[in-house]
Structure 1
């Protein structure tokens, strides 16, 4: 089972970083507000901007910690770089 690190942008422009094994399910949970992170009680999730796979929870958690320490601009740069690689 692989773990996915993801960044969601809210409708107000804030960024949320998390990890999961099922991104589609987790995004729906965030949107429902019952099972989602309390972060989304104040800012409604809008779109998944970024995702990367990791071989286990430990590696995903380490990367999540690293990204959460980034500034918003650094996170946006990461997102832009990943989109440029896909083009």
Structure 2
């Protein structure tokens, strides 16, 4: 049974591309809504005035705990590794293996 079927929100990890080419990593239960919040200035302070181009990557992970741990690990990666993650378009299982994390 998935998180949605249980009535609990499904948390996703996402990476956004800024206008300057930089990447922003975050988690949300609704990535499209969160992207619009960031674009309108209601999102993260670190993105205000930076300009966003697009959602580069998103992966549904399930629990907030797992998504937060994955976010922490992705934020520690060098930009080249984040670009590799984006290019690979990992599934949930592949992402967790890439980050050397077990299943929640």
Same fold (TM over 0.5): yes
- Match of residue 37 from structure 1: 44
Give the Å deviation of 1:32.
0.5
> Is residue 63 of structure 2 the alignment partner of residue 69 of structure 1?
no
- Match of residue 21 from structure 1: 29
> Is residue 28 of structure 2 the alignment partner of residue 2 of structure 1?
no
2:56 match: secondary structure: strand
Q: Distance in 2 between matches of 1:55 and 1:30?
A: 22
Structure 2 unaligned blocks of 5 or more: 1-8, 91-104
Q: Is the radius of gyration larger for structure 1 or structure 2?
A: 2
2:14 match: secondary structure: strand
- Which structure exhibits the higher relative contact order, with contacts defined as CA atoms closer than 8 Å and separated by 6 or more residues? 1
- Give the 4+ runs in structure 1 shifted more than 6 A: none
Structure 1 unaligned blocks of 5 or more: none
